[in-house]
Structure 1
Amino acid sequence: MMLVNPNDSLERQNEKLLRIAESLMRRVEYGNSTSNDAYAHFERSALLEKMVQQRTLDFERTLDLLHESNNQLAKAHRETETARRNLADAIETVREGFALFDPDDILVMCNSRFCRGFRDTVPRLRAGLPFREYVDLVSRSKHLQLPADDTHATWAARRIRRHQDRHVMFNVEIAGDRWLQVSEHRTANGGTVILQTDVTEIIRLERQERNRLKDKQARMIRATLDHLDQGVCIFDENARLLTWNAKIGDLLGIPTVHWRLGASFRGLLEQSLDDLAFSPASDRAMFLDWSAETGTRGPISFEIRRNDRQTLRIFGRGMPDLGFVMSCTDMTAEREAARQLHELNEALEQRVLERTLELEDALNAAERANASKSRFVAAASHDLLQPLTAAKLFVSSLTDRCQDEDSARVLAKTESALISAEQIIDALLDISKLDSDGLKFDVRPVPLRDLLSTLRDEMEVLANRKGLDLRIVDTGLVVETDPGYLRRVLQNLMGNAIRYTQSGRVLVGGRRDGKSLRLEVWDTGPGIAEEDQSAIFEEFRRLDKTAGVSEGLGLGLAIVERACTRLGHPLELRSIPGKGSCFMVTVPIASRTEPKRPDVPRDSHDLSIEGSPLLVMAVENDPPLRRAITILLESWGIEVLVAGSGEEALELLDDLGIVPDALLLDQQLGAGMTGTELYEHLTAQYGLLPCSIASADRSQELRDTCDHLGIGLMLKPIDRQQLASFLSQASTMRPSS
């Protein structure tokens, strides 16, 4: 049991303890001294006194702590008041209007500049004002200048909606042509800081700058219009004149008095209608209708004639504001130049045609002369070879019976001269054949082992006579060529190598290059300078001027060059002066064992069966190309039926009652049917025929159509080899008569 209530204050507890102690002391002093409990009471009194002293000390310490807490609280209160005053002073020094709302959108504080432009709202701005009431006060302020078609309620509603964003910035116009920029920012605890900045000067400067730029732009536009060599005028959406330059009046012949701001387009045009001639006449109504359109206008362009002397180009285009701009350009000089150029072109075309005919006549005459020359050389060569052969036999018989050394030397020189003459005639005969269009090559698979073996037997004697090492690398390849002419080419190259090499060796071999074989003839002779490497292929051209007739006639390489060209075998030369030369001939490797037909037909026997020439129907709508195809095919001995359109071709075959052996059809035949459509008509009437379409159209659609019909496609310009190959195949497909 406790003597005091612990819930009492320390003062009350001390008071009770003092009374208890006094009571106990009185009982000890005045009570029954004979009682046995006297000493016990004394001990309890001493204990109580000790407890009172301890409680007193605790009370004193508690009082000290309380005083210290009160001092700290007072200090914190002073610091808080100081910080509040400092914050208020800092906010007040801000040049912009400042307001702080707490996370519940309640106004905490603001400075004196806040809402200064709305003076009728300032008395009601106080701490604790809700944000919605603040917006309502501003929206109803008489100083707020609302935008057009806007009310106080709609402005306030829009302001509340924007308050939901984290960052807000907009401009507000107030009375007296002043402007405030209002910006809102969220604080870390969800409150809102509002800043109001006076941007009146900035807005006015921007307005002045914008007006200045507009004036400057207007001056630039005016200067540009006046500088243009074209006449220009601009109209608004109601076809009323906005601006123009002086050139437009001069070109259209409209007096200056009629050019005024707001003049109607139709009224201006009527001032010059009598002098303007539209071509066609419908352009006039179309032009007026275009100017009267109310929507967006598309571009319009046409030419007119003024007083039969000037040609004017009119161009009009709509603008985004539904107005339109019109320009007028004097095209008289250009049209006159074009007319003169057209007349000049016609005269030139006539002169070109005349000169072309003259050149064709000259070419035909040259070809006839060349053919006559070739025939003469061939005939003369054959006639001369017989007496030369007889002369050689007589000389040989005299040499066997002659015992005089001087006479023997004369006969040896005579025989050498006859051999040289025979070589010259043989070379001239070869050149004559190679220059002739009627030459036919026997192109077929040729085993190189047999050809090189024959040449080894012939050339080893000459090489051994000069002490040269002749090496021929054997090969088992088979090539596609004319064996006679390839043998003559290699024979001439090897003979030249042995003739002009004084010491060393001559090497002959082949290098495979894909589907071709490059035959090479190497020597260790004097070499050929680069400037002379093209001249050595000319007739009777020898670099060694001191060489005699027995050392070469200057025709061997000319024959090699012509033969390789006609056979389609590329010929190359590599040479280093003082070290030697290498002549290279590239021939295709044979892919089959049977003889190959010639690529390009040379006479009527190439494309005929049992003497009957091939009959080809050629349909081409371009006259010059049609004539060129006809001349080429006829030069090959082919009979040609020509037509300029599909309808003409069908009528021609129907009138003649014959069926061609092959068809060569242009794809674009003008307004009528195409080449593929003509082929379908012909096959429906005459059955399947060999056909090839000639076209410059490289589209996949045409290729697919030709593949579907099973016919060939030759892209223009037509390749001579491809045309010859098609006709050769058509010749083999034709049934024998």
Structure 2
Amino acid sequence: MSLINPADSIEEQNAKLQTIAAALMKRVEYDTAQSGAAYAQFERAALLEKRVRERTLELERTLDLLHDSNAQLARANQETEAARRNLADAIETVSEGFALFDGADVLVMCNSRFCRYFRDTVPQLDPGLSFAEYVAQVSRSAHLALPKGETAESWTAKRIQRHKDRHVMFNVQLSQDRWVQVSEHRTATGGTVVLQTDVTDLIRLERQERTRLKDKQARMIRATLDHLNQGVCIFDEDARLVGWNQKLGALLSLPARRLQLGVTFIGLLDQLDDEFRFVRGLDRDGFRLWALAAGPRPPVSFEVRDGAQSSLQIFGRGMPDGGFVISVTDVTAEREAAQKLSDLNEILEQRVMERTLELEDALSAAERANASKSRFVAAASHDLLQPLSAAKLFLSSLADRLPDDRDRQVLGKAESALSSAEQLIDALLDISKLESDGLSFDIRPVALREIFAPLRDEMEVMADRKGLTLRVLDSSLTVETDPAYLRRVVQNLMANAIRYTDTGRVVVGARRSAGSARIEVWDTGPGIAEADQGTIFEEFKRLDTTASSNDGLGLGLAIVERACARLGHPLGLWSEPGRGACFMVNVPIVDRAAPRRTQSARRVYATGLAHAGLIVLLVENDPQLRRAITILVESWGVNVLEAEDAVTARELLRDLDLAPDALLLDYRLGSGLTGLELYDEIARDLGTLPCALVTADRAPELRQACADRGLELLPKPLDRHKLARFLETSARAAVESVR
């Protein structure tokens, strides 16, 4: 019902509406309390209706989602069932037995071929069966062939233990000679897949192949035994004969009917008659006890003699299976050869003894001749020096009376010739003294500046004449030596440097080097070629063949070498052609307050060694040091065998066929072999010998290695007194060994 007539005009409708609105406003103004409650209920009803409508919409949407989820779940169930059927079909098509256990070791599914080899366990193979129960049922199966000495319980325990591994594969033997290979593999979820494969055909083929190989190996062993030139017999763990060759019967003189398979060792040993005598090593009873011993047998070797001619070497060795093998070798020819060698050795020893006596007589004669020569040179030098000195005085007095310059020049040449003869006699006298066994030294501490200062004043005149610069460096070191001979050594080296240097300078000094003072004489002369460095120390040897006698007699370096060798001062040389040369002498450093060494101590060493008759093997690759040591040691009456390397030393010992009384070995031989290694080789051949190792290496490892072997360690520069004490000890050891 409408409050306004639609047929009225617009103006009339507006008027009516204004009247109605005024009435309503008036009613609202006069009835506010009653209309407020109703309006609030109206609002709550409207809000409730809105919420109900919203919840209804939400329920409708939820119901739609539930219907969709049910539909998806139904499809998933269908797909899962289809996948299970497909998996079951796929597993069923596998030709091997297949089973799947979950992470709790519970059977999930298996195919019809699983455990078909254990038919009595198939009825219990249902999902939900535990792995332990499955193993227990298999262990009790009548179709399982348990190993010898194995029970069902022990087999089950081992099977469960192997199940703990991530991957397992093993073979199981069934009745009627059938075999099944069982393999287990862990899945990503912790489950286990078990596969059972029939490997009977493979096992049988392998067995046949093994049998064929054994037959082939047996034929090869038989052919090999028959081919050997030795008699061989093999016994099993019960000492019964299981194999032999034809050579055995020939060597032991046994007929073929006695060598039969299965014959006992005792029976075979008793068949050997009394002609077989055990001559070296085991006897008959010892051999019997060795063969019948229980447990491992050590190797044995002995000899028997068949009659008076034939000798047999018998060797026995145990085998891992408890048996043993015996080989018989005919050594008759070797024993006859050894006897001939023994007879020949006796003849050679007799000849060597005769030759040694002849050499000793010749050596004694040479020593007497050398001593006579030394005495003659000393006496002749003394007798000749007096008239020469007188002649020089007469010439000097005559020079003042000659007015002619040409006559004075001739007189000067004559005086120079006499001076050269005097120098030659002095040098020969020095060499004679140095080669004499009776020479004694005044060894005491001496300051080097006491030697350097006078020589500087003396040699400056010679250097100035040639226009050379001579520089002698002051030194505060104190050394232990004979001051007179050390002065002569340095003097000869300085004179030699000035003589052969045309331009430049000569420098003399000393530097500390590992407990010794190394005196060095440098020059800027022409230098010395390497090929000539070993010959310049020979008597009357001069590299400048055009030089006159006034330029030197070629004895200075020979005196230097002999003096250094007798004093125990190592002598060295460095030189390059065109760059000059440097001569070096090492002298031990001592404190100024060091006790003075007397001549009597020196004579103890010389006298104690002079009659020792020692033979010393010296191996030193440095020819200059080797020559210096040889001269020094031979001056003490010791025989020296020289070698420059290990190969030469071994060849020398082999050719001479003798064992030296002592060894002097350089540590670094420069041939790939050290002195320690050379000593080990000599000790293996000749036994333990007194040995001193000469080295500049002061490493604690080397010192410990020498101590372990009982060797003397002589550090470089070589101390002559330590060397003498070592030789004294070796001499006493040699005397004790003879007693």
Query: Do the two structures share a fold, i.e. TM-score over 0.5?
Result: yes
Give TM-score scaled by structure 2 length. 0.68
Look up the match of 1:485: 485
Deviations 1:560-609 (A, max 9, x none): 222222222233333344453333323222324466426996657987xx
Contact 1:604 1:636 in 2 (8 A): no
Residue 463 in 1 paired to residue 463 in 2? yes
Counterpart-to-counterpart distance in 1, 2:378 and 2:192: 115
**1:217: Cα distance to partner?**
2.8
Partner in structure 2 of residue 275 of structure 1 = 275
Identify if the C-alpha distance between structure 1 residues 577 and 291 changes in structure 2 by more than 3 Å, giving closer, same or farther.
closer
**SS of 1:535's equivalent?**
coil
Q: What SS does structure 2 have at the residue aligned with 1:446? A: strand
Q: Write the distance in 2 (CA, Å) between the matches of 1:66 and 1:559.
A: 124
| In structure 2, C-alpha distance between the alignment counterparts of 1:576 and 1:281, rounded to whole Å | 66
Alignment of 1:8-47 (within 5 A): none
Change (3 A) 1:243 1:420: same
Is the CA contact 2:605–2:728 (under 8 Å) kept in the aligned structure 1? no
1:334 matched to 2:331: no
C-alpha displacement at 1:148, in angstroms?
4.5
Residue type at the aligned position of 1:277: R
Corresponding letter in the other structure for 1:451? I
Q: Aligned residue for 1:252?
A: 252
Measured in 2, the distance between the counterparts of 1:524 and 1:58 equals 117
* Counterpart in the other structure of 1:548: 548
SS at match of 2:511: strand
| SS of 1:401 mapped into structure 2 | coil
Q: Secondary structure at the match of 2:512?
A: strand
Q: Secondary structure at the match of 1:501?
A: coil
Taking the aligned partners of 1:281 and 1:557, their CA distance within structure 2 comes to 64
Counterpart of 1:228 in structure 2 is 228
Residue 441 of structure 2 aligns with an amino acid whose one-letter code is: F
1:310 and 2:310 are equivalent in the alignment: yes
1-structure distance, mates of 2:434, 2:195: 102
Query: Is the CA contact 1:97–1:197 (under 8 Å) kept in the aligned structure 2?
Result: yes
CA contact (8 A) 1:145 1:174 kept: yes
Q: Deviation of residue 254 (structure 1)?
A: 0.9
Map of 1:57-96 to 2, 5 A cutoff? 78-96=78-96
1:373–1:178 distance in 2 versus 1, CA, 3 Å: same
Q: Following the alignment from structure 1 to structure 2, what is the Cα–Cα distance between the partners of residues 65 and 458?
A: 127
* Contact preservation (8 Å) 1:525, 1:581: yes
Extract unaligned runs of 5+ from structure 1.
1-49, 608-613, 627-631, 638-665, 667-693, 708-712, 730-737
Identity percentage of aligned residues: 66
| TM-aligned CA deviation for residue 378 of structure 1 | 0.7
User: Aligned-pair distance for 1:99?
Assistant: 4.0
The answer to whether the aligner puts 1:263 opposite 2:259 as a matched pair is no
Q: CA deviation at 1:62?
A: 12
Instruction: Supply the distance in 1 between the matched residues of 2:106 and 2:460 (Cα, whole angstroms).
Output: 121
For 2:594 and 2:300, how far apart are their aligned partners in 1? 70
Partner of 1:322: 322
Query: Conserved in 1, the CA contact under 8 Å of 2:605 and 2:724?
Result: no
Long gaps (5+) in structure 2:
1-48, 617-631, 638-661, 663-687, 693-702, 730-739
1:245 offset after TM fit, Å?
1.2
Change (3 A) 1:300 1:599: farther
SS of the residue corresponding to residue 537 of structure 1 reads coil
Q: Which moved more, 1:179-188 or 1:421-430?
A: 179-188
| C-alpha contact (below 8 Å) 1:443/1:595 kept by paired residues | no
Partner SS state of residue 369, structure 2: helix
Q: What is the CA distance between 1:238 and its match in structure 2?
A: 2.5
The offset of 1:283, in angstroms, is 0.7
Secondary structure of the 2:239 match is: coil
Counterpart amino acid of 2:115? C
Q: How does 1:115-194 map to 2 (within 5 A)?
A: 115-119=115-119, 122=122, 143-148=143-148, 170-183=170-183, 193-194=193-194
Bigger mean CA deviation after superposition, 99-108 or 389-398 = 99-108
Shift of 1:195: 3.2
Aligned equivalents of 1:306, 1:472: Cα separation in 2: 87
Hey, what's the Cα distance between the residues in 2 that align with 1:359 and 1:715? Answer: 31
Please give the alpha-carbon distance, in whole angstroms, between the structure 2 residues aligned to 1:63 and 1:575: 113
The 3 A distance-change label for structure 1 pair 259 and 409 is same
Give the 5 Å matches for 1:480-559: 480-559=480-559
Q: How does 1:419-434 map to 2 (within 5 A)?
A: 419-434=419-434
Shift, 1:277, TM fit: 0.9
Question: 1:201 corresponds to which residue?
Answer: 201
CA gap of 1:298–1:575, structure 2 versus 1, over 3 A, is: closer
Alignment check: 8 A CA contact 2:371 2:436 kept: yes
Relative distance call for 1:147 and 1:588 in structure 2 (3 A) is closer
TM-score, scaled relative to structure 1: 0.68
Q: How many residues align?
A: 593
Structure 2 Cα separation of the partners of residues 80 and 599 of structure 1? 116
Would the aligned equivalents of 2:181 and 2:199 in 1 still touch at CA under 8 Å? yes
Alpha-carbon displacement from aligned partner over 1:690-728 (angstroms, at most 9, x marks no partner): xxxx98599xxxx9xxx9xxxxx99699x9844745999
Q: Give the residue type in structure 2 aligned to 1:471.
A: R
1:248–1:532 Cα change, 3 Å: same
Contact kept in structure 1, 2:281 and 2:301, CA below 8 Å: no
Counterpart AA for 2:557:
L
Secondary structure of 2:283's counterpart equals helix
Cα drift, residue 452 of structure 1: 2.4
The CA distance in 1 between the partners of 2:81 and 2:609, in whole Å, is 120
Question: Is the CA contact 1:145–1:175 (under 8 Å) kept in the aligned structure 2?
Answer: yes
Instruction: Assess if the C-alpha contact under 8 Å between 1:601 and 1:724 holds in 2.
Output: no
Contact 1:179–1:200 under 8 Å retained in 2: yes
Note the C-alpha offset of 1:517: 2.2
> Greater shift after overlay, 178-187 or 332-341?
178-187
Query: Does the 8 Å contact 1:439/1:602 carry over to 2?
Result: no
Q: In 1, distance between residues paired with 2:216 and 2:238? A: 26
- Partner SS for 1:536: coil
Between 394-403 and 358-367, the greater mean CA deviation after superposition: 394-403
